[in-house]
Chains A and B, each alone.
Chain A
Amino acid sequence: MSKRRKSKQVLFISAIVLILSTLLLGCTNESKENSTSNKDSKDMLTLAWPRDIGEMNPHVYNPSQLFATSMIYEPLVSYQDGGELKPHLAESWEISKDGKEYTFNLRQDVKFSDGTSFNAEIVKKNFDTILKNVDLHSWLGFITKVDQTEVIDQNTFKLTLKEPYYPTIQELAVVRPVRFLGDAGFPKDGDTSKGVTKPVGTGPWILEEHKADEYAIFKRNENYWGELPKVKKIKVKIIPDAETRVLAFEKGDLDLIYGEGAISLDAFKQLETTGNYETSISDPVATRQLVMNTKKEQLSDLRVRQALQYGFNKKAMVDGVTSGLEEKADFILPTNFPYTSDIDVTAIDYNVEKAKALLDEAGWKLPKGKNVREKDGKPLEIELMYDSAESIQKAMAETLQSEWAALGVKLNIVGVELTVQIERFKANDFELNFFSNYGAPYDPHTFVNVVGSEGFGFNEAISSYPNRDELLKQIADVPGTTDEKERQELYSTILESLQDQGAIVPISYIKKIAVYQKDVSNFTFPANRDEHPFTGISIEK
């Protein structure tokens, strides 16, 4: 019996050994092949993206990823550093004196990737298709103001607005919906909102292969009118998990990781400290703000709002929470945006004593033996709402809670889903909330417009401002201005007033990060928040 048992054991163990060794042998062979194939792809830059690139339709939104759309389709005007608007598919443009007529002289040497010509007719066709769904695109200010689109001649296109709207040119630089699809991409009924037949654009890249949820390969458009990209192909691997992205990068499967929140701040720091990779941080793309609802009694007093600002160490908080990847913000919009550099506001530095004095002055006294200030028997209690999925907002909320507790302010922090946060903000059902502006090329006009529009949270939130009505009128006047000087003055007054009265507190400037292998060079962040960063990038393997 024992002999039989022994032989059974031996048989079992040898079977396991056999299976394992075959497994390992197979893997080693295959991995060798894999690594060879990696080295073969010299001219291909591989990067990771958390979501599938989606259908490459320039006229709709979800699920298309903006960076990928911008690789294929181009705008009439491009947004450059410092908010400069440069000619792109339009060589130049004239704006009529009344600010209503925009005449674009189109670039003549442009062809779509299928060889067809880019001309005024296809521009009109794209515009008219987009305008069929005005409601869908109403968030983009100029769309609702378009009165007429005209083909003047093969290379001249004219856009007429119902009323002057100065940000038109800036809004033409956004990634969707106003980018141009070639004729072959239009479906039979011409309605692109339901889908496109194939992604034909004028951009530097052509979508070569796409496997949903797995990868997408873009090849260089050899007939591109502009500067030809240096790498021949870009492979976008879809890796939803941030830690896996880091591991794949460390293994060498990826050449580049970039974006906002592409990997955790800790992972970024860790990769940076190894010294094995290159890292890069962009200019500010937006400002993280704290919005105080002045409709709530305790926040209606300017002194309380200022006290809260004096009462926390902004720099220490931003450095601590974001590991120094975000920068302490002094202005409610980054100063690398148009019309934002000439703002004169009083910076509020960390000063606990001043904060306490302001609260005392406002009537919120700290009763003996208690930790929370009171006024007429009511404790100074405020609620801060944050997006529970965003670790930075959560950490900042917790920091504020402990900082303000030292002033005698009880801060209740409430984590909610992003959509709930937006809904409650819009319904004015909040006391303190985090917000960030839209970035380039949307701001400053989009941010200011949101502040001025009803049903977005801000309009009500600033209700205790003594100059609220005047401020709202100025906001309403800005888009219609035709005089550059007048516009600049209006923006300065609006932004200064919004900030000085303390309902909108700048916290930090949000930045994009990039980590790349040493053989990748010339990586630069685009000025437009949503554009692709592959212009000029090169790789030497």
Chain B
Amino acid sequence: MGTYILKRIMAIIPIFLLATLLTFGMIHLSPVDPAEAYLSAAHIQSTDEILAQKRHEFGLDQPLHVQYVNSIIKICQFDFGISYLSNKPVWDEVTYRMPATIQLALGSIILAILVSVPLGFLAGIKKNSGIDHFSRLLSFFGASIPSFWLGYLLIFFFSVKLDLFPVEGIGTWQHLVLPSVTLALPLIALYTRLLRASVLENLQEPYVLFARTRGIHEKVIMGKHVLRIAISPMITGLGMNLGKLLTGTIIVEAVFSWPGFGRYFIEAIFNRDVPVIQCYVLLAAGLFIFSNLIVDLIQMCIDPRISRKGGQRQ
């Protein structure tokens, strides 16, 4: 297991390098000149003098390979450069906004788990019952409605009409409710269906019949055996979605004026704020890698067969 973890950690380095190369390539292949983008964002009529000065300031007048190597060296020192737009260190700007995004992501993931685990499980063990139909309806709704639209609907009904929650902003737990629900609904849809399918599949397994013939209590069979094994695909899904969740906050943050990282990134894209875009892509890549690693480890703990299989292969 130790070698496995070490191998996984070592694999992070080439993935990161690839991510930096891809971002760098994409930004520099785009026809938009960051210096020009800076000036148009500032509503300045661009002259050759300012363009040249800005390009020099941003280091864009250097050869591409020099720019790339410089950015890698800096990243290794945890220096993501200075934002073209705000003139402040990118890392400071990111860490200032990160807690809000994490709060939102955590809020929705907890909500998603709280709703989808009981709902998916009950829908599975009570196939074609009322709760199963309800879960299907909710999943259909959650999977098909776009986040921004759902956000507007929730604001319209719960803030404007019923005056239960604030329209926008951050601060109290009430501020967290609507954005979390918006972000959690697609996850709820996904996890409920995953868990339901997995429970149904497990109910057909011989171990359930065997346990029943041994006279083991139904509650124990369901809770200790079926749920424990059936939840495994959901955990994989959760891990894969953790990175997606942080990136998914982009739209929700914009709709609910949540002062997080996603909104900052959107502005950076529009203004071609290269250092911020690079930092975001690297963080997102890191998060995907890290969450997948964590999920694999959890899976191993829940279902030791996985690690054994891994061990046999080695």
Q: Interface stretch among B1-9, B19-27, B152-160? A: B152-160
CB contact under 8 A between A62 and B263, given known A237-B168, A244-B257: no
Closest chain A residue to B114, Cβ basis: A19
Q: Are B255 and A241 in contact (CB under 8 A)?
A: yes
The interface residues of chain A lying within 8 Å CB-to-CB of B40 are: 418-419, 422
Task: Encode A435-462 as 1/0 by CB contact (under 8 A) with B.
Answer: 0001000000010001000010000000
Do A247 and B37 have beta carbons less than 8 Å apart? no
B196 within 8 A of A: no
Interface residues of A in 234-250 (CB under 8 A from B): 237-241, 243-244, 247-248, 250
Closest residue to A243 on the B side, CB-wise?
Answer: B152
B residues less than 8 Å from A438 (CB atoms)? 45
CB-defined contacts of A244 to chain B, threshold 8 Å:
152, 155, 167-168, 255-257
Interface size of A by CB at 8 A reads 55
Candidates B46, B52, B160; contact of A251 at CB < 8 Å: B160
Interface 1/0s, chain A 131-170, versus B by CB < 8 A? 0000110110000000000000000000000000000000
Q: Do B254 and A30 touch (CB < 8 A)?
A: no
Check A368 for interface membership: any CB of B closer than 8 A: no
A214 contacts B by Cβ under 8 Å: yes
Closest chain A residue, CB of each to CB of B84? A62
Segment at the interface with A among B28-36, B68-76, B187-195, B201-209 = B28-36
Shortest beta-carbon distance from B256 to chain A in Å: 7
Q: Tell me how many residues of B have a C-beta within 8 Å of chain A.
A: 57
Interface flags for A208-230 (1: CB within 8 Å of B; 0: not) read: 00011111000000000000000
Residues in B neighbouring A418, C-beta threshold 8 A = 40
* Interface presence of A480 (CB below 8 A): no
Distance to closest chain A CB from B130 (angstroms) = 11
In the complex, A23→B122 CA distance in Å? 24
In the bound complex, residues from chain A placing their C-beta under 8 Å from that of B271 are: 62
Q: Would you list which residues of chain A between 391 and 430 have a CB under 8 Å from chain B?
A: 417-420, 422-423, 426
A251 contacts which chain B residues (CB < 8 A)? 159-160, 163, 167
CA distance A456 to B38 in the complex (A): 17
Instruction: Tell me the bound Cα distance from A68 to B238 in angstroms.
Output: 44
Query: Which among B44, B174, B263 is the interface contact of A139 at CB below 8 angstroms?
Result: B44
Chain B residues in 8 Å Cβ range of A248 = 167-168
Interface residues of B in 181-220 (CB under 8 A from A): 218-219
A residues less than 8 Å from B255 (CB atoms)? 241, 243-244
Whether A1 sits at the interface, judged by CB under 8 Å, is yes
A388 at the interface (CB under 8 A from B): no
Q: Which residues of A contact B170 (CB under 8 A)?
A: 214
Contacts of A27-66 to chain B: CB distance below 8 A: 27-28, 30-31, 34-35, 51, 54-55, 60-63, 66
Given contacts A26-B174, A62-B86, A244-B257, whether A253 and B167 have CB atoms under 8 Å apart is yes
Judged by a CB distance under 8 angstroms, whether B61 is at the interface is no
Asked whether any CB of chain B lies closer than 8 Å to the CB of A87, the reply is: no
Q: Does B58 contact A (CB under 8 A)?
A: no
For residue A195, CB closer than 8 A to chain B, the reply is: yes
Bound form: Cα–Cα A344–B267 in Å: 44
User: Known contacts A27-B174, A195-B87, A214-B169: does B218 contact A1 (CB below 8 Å)?
Assistant: yes
Q: Cβ of B36 and Cβ of A423 under 8 Å apart?
A: yes
A contact residues around B155 at 8 Å (CB)? 244, 247
Q: Sorted from nearest, which 4 A-B pairs have the closest CB atoms?
A: A61-B42, A213-B259, A248-B167, A419-B32
Q: Could you list some 10 contacts between A and B, CB below 8 A? A: A60-B87, A62-B42, A138-B49, A139-B47, A238-B259, A240-B254, A244-B257, A422-B36, A438-B45, A446-B45
- Give the interface of A toward B (CB within 8 A): 1, 4, 8, 12, 23-24, 26-28, 30-31, 34-35, 51, 54-55, 60-63, 66, 135-136, 138-139, 194-195, 211-215, 237-241, 243-244, 247-248, 250-251, 253, 417-420, 422-423, 426, 438, 446, 450, 455
Q: Can you add 10 more A-B contacts, CB < 8 Å, to A27-B164, A139-B46?
A: A4-B218, A51-B267, A138-B47, A139-B45, A243-B152, A244-B168, A251-B160, A420-B32, A423-B32, A426-B46
